[in-house]
Chains A and B, each alone.
Chain A
Amino acid sequence: MYRYDEFDHTIVKERVTEFTGQVKRRLAGELTEDEFKPLRLMNGLYLQLHAYMLRVAIPYGTLSGTQMRMLAHVARKYDKGYGHFTTRQNIQYNWPKLKDVPDILDDLATVEMHAIQTSGNCIRNVTSDQYAGVAAGEIDDPRVWAEILRQWSTFHPEYTFLPRKFKIAVTGHSNDRAAIKMHDVGIIIVEGENGEPAFDIYAGGGQGRTPMVAHLVGEKIPARDLLHFMDAIMRVYNMHGRRDNLYKARIKILVHALGAEEFARQVKEEFAKGGAGEDLKLPDGEIERIRAYFAPPAYETLPDSDAGYEKALAEDKAFAQWARTNLADHKVPGYAIVNVSLKPIGGIAGDASDAQMDAVADLAETFSFDEVRVTHEQNLTLPDVKKSDLYEVWKRLDAALLATPNIGLISDMIVCPGLDYCDLANARSISIGQMISERFADLDKEHDIGELKVKISGCINACGHHHVGHIGILGVDKKGVEFYQVTLGGSADENAAVGDIVGPAFTEDEIVGAIETIVETFVANRKDGEIFLDTYRRIGIDPFKETLYAAA
């Protein structure tokens, strides 16, 4: 894992001191709310329905056991005993008091954590694949490049006041688990010259009220030109991105207005100018210095199968069910990737109690080389668990209510906080997620349905990624009453697509039945081996419209 150098320590410490002073001045009446608001937002502090909300950065979703324990400590000491993991691989606390926030940031800094780049019109915390460094078939570890981008973007003076927020995701794998085409910039590591990593760079993706899939604007960009090329993209955006209309300020609008080809041409022209390019060329030594932080841990040489594990699979049905859904193949024989579901049936997606965070920290330290990942689908991952330890890990997860066997199934939903917490929301989303989860609680039924990604947002800002849900649900307000609009056929993977609106919105009472009808329509029409998305792409939206609205 990356460890802070003296510069990182200094900038984080100085930022805490600075914000402590700003809070003090605000409370003393020396700063108005209008003056203070942009300052608190630069430190991840929002004001929501019931209280302030603090968003803490987890760069590319990677953290140590010690850091996870600190997140538990913050939940326990300053909040109400829990935190909410987000689609940006961050964590949010829903109840901090303004006067406590400097102390929280001070505590976080002791374990190299902060709330920088979690809000405001800057380059936000870079996200990545939760299987980075451990998935078979990966071209290169995306955390290396995410960290390089992090160092380049943090407090970058030219990109601190962009037209709008700017989100970057990086993956090193052809199976996209980081939704890179739905980001302002998405980066896929590919094989370059002489076996060096290179980058296919996509720009102009995003969700919100104008969902768009990103376009390829740079092909096989050599590793050492990464920052130079990113600089060219940012300069074209910073120069031409709209600042007159909040809703048209994201880079996707610029790419769309210019056309992807013209945008790419302007980027290449900017790139060719050189600019700060020479200074931004990454020296080999620097790449290797960062890479060393992400060197593989000391794996044991093991046979790929483990007799104890196989025996437990055969004898314990509950363990076998969990193993079927919650494990993924590891690149090293004898190891597995463990997915920790934060989606208990009828629970709140992404929420974890302080005790659960401590339990995961224990497991990471004991069984997974002291590393935890946060996924953009609001789950956690233990990346490096020996197969011989899996049964014990499962038992401990189960005891902590963290072993729901549903990764990738219908109850493994992305759900934004919605109107239960969020100041921007128009409708509740958590309660809808809970009702769907309970309706499909029968595990055999879930398995029969197969992979199905349901994503729920409480407003058009789309924090719940509804546009890219196989089934997407958007909460809307109609004269103070909550309604839910359904989209079908969205996807956030390497074949990213924005879902199609199926028809008129449903009431709160109708929405779960509508989802059930959609699933039944899929089951009735599917061919062998098809998941929901395959069937939808084959038969289109009409059969779903018919079953949903025929009776109306």
Chain B
Amino acid sequence: MAQHINKKARFHSLTANRLLDGEPVYLTGDHGWSEVLSDAVIADGKEEGAKLMDVAAQAVKDQHVVNPYLFDVDVDGTTPKPISVREQIRATGPTVRLDLGKQAS
């Protein structure tokens, strides 16, 4: 699997694709899953990130999500902002079809 975190980065959120429809989803603070990135819980440092991955592993076993991984975020107050273009696009939709993806709803 591709690496989506930089060793030096401090803050991460966790994303996966929902099994049923492939929709990108984000792990929330109460260990639920949201389609909206701003709902994502923020892990401060490696250990917290590892704990989120443990929660995600159970959701994979439960047939809820696939392909979970951590990605780098900047923190704006309590809201995570993805650093990479890739995660910005996943969180919104194709930049060439603004009528599609999360940005459309």
Is chain B found bound to chain A in the same assembly?
Answer: yes
Interface, chain A (partner B; CB < 8 A)? 26-29, 33, 47-52, 80, 95, 97-99, 348, 419-421, 424-425, 427-428, 430-431, 434, 477, 480-482
Q: Is the CB of B63 within 8 A of A29?
A: yes
A-B contacts, 22 listed (Cβ < 8 Å): A27-B20, A29-B63, A49-B89, A49-B90, A50-B23, A50-B90, A51-B17, A52-B21, A98-B20, A98-B22, A419-B89, A420-B94, A420-B96, A427-B85, A428-B85, A428-B89, A428-B96, A430-B94, A430-B96, A431-B95, A431-B96, A477-B85
A33-B60, A434-B96 known; A420+B19 contact, CB < 8 A: no
Q: Is the CB of A50 within 8 A of B22?
A: yes
Add 8 more A-B contacts to A47-B22, A50-B94 (CB < 8 A).
A27-B19, A27-B20, A50-B101, A51-B21, A98-B19, A420-B96, A424-B2, A480-B83
| B66-105 residues at the A interface, CB under 8 angstroms | 66-67, 72, 83-86, 89-90, 93-97, 100-101
Give A380 Cβ to nearest chain B Cβ, in Å: 21
Q: Is the CB of A47 within 8 A of B17?
A: yes
Distance of A51 Cα from B86 Cα, bound (Å): 14
Q: Is the CB of A97 within 8 A of B20?
A: yes
Residue from A48, A80, A98, A428 in contact with B21 in the complex, judged by beta carbons closer than 8 Å: A98
Q: What B residues does A27 contact at CB under 8 A? A: 19-20, 63
> Does chain A have a CB within 8 A of B49?
no
Distance of A28 Cα from B95 Cα, bound (Å): 35
Q: Is the CB of B24 within 8 A of A50?
A: yes
A33-B60, A50-B94 known; A80+B100 contact, CB < 8 A: yes
Q: Is the CB of A420 within 8 A of B83?
A: no
Chain A's closest residue to B21 (CB) is A97
Q: Is the CB of B93 within 8 A of A50?
A: yes
Distance of A425 Cα from B24 Cα, bound (Å): 16
Q: What B residues does A26 contact at CB under 8 A? A: 19, 63
| B27-49 residues at the A interface, CB under 8 angstroms | none
Chain A's closest residue to B63 (CB) is A29
| B1-27 residues at the A interface, CB under 8 angstroms | 2, 17, 19-24
Q: What A residues does B83 contact at CB under 8 A? A: 480
- Which of B60, B62, B66 is most buried by chain A, counting CB atoms within 10 A of its CB? B66
Residue from B21, B62, B94 in contact with A421 in the complex, judged by beta carbons closer than 8 Å: B94
Q: Is the CB of A47 within 8 A of B67?
A: yes
Distance of A49 Cα from B20 Cα, bound (Å): 14
Distance of A95 Cα from B100 Cα, bound (Å): 10
Give B15 Cβ to nearest chain A Cβ, in Å: 10
Distance of A502 Cα from B84 Cα, bound (Å): 27
Distance of A28 Cα from B19 Cα, bound (Å): 11
- Which of B19, B83, B94 is most buried by chain A, counting CB atoms within 10 A of its CB? B94
Q: Is the CB of A33 within 8 A of B67?
A: yes
Chain B's closest residue to A28 (CB) is B63
Give A117 Cβ to nearest chain B Cβ, in Å: 22
Residue from B2, B17, B22, B89 in contact with A420 in the complex, judged by beta carbons closer than 8 Å: B89
Q: Is the CB of B95 within 8 A of A51?
A: no
Q: What B residues does A481 contact at CB under 8 A? A: 85
Chain B's closest residue to A45 (CB) is B22
Q: What B residues does A29 contact at CB under 8 A? A: 62-63
Chain A's closest residue to B104 (CB) is A80
Give A430 Cβ to nearest chain B Cβ, in Å: 5
| 9 A-B pairs with the lowest CB-CB distances in the bound complex, closest first | A51-B22, A420-B94, A52-B22, A97-B21, A480-B84, A430-B96, A29-B63, A33-B66, A49-B90
- Which of A50, A419, A427, A431 is most buried by chain B, counting CB atoms within 10 A of its CB? A50
Chain B's closest residue to A36 (CB) is B66
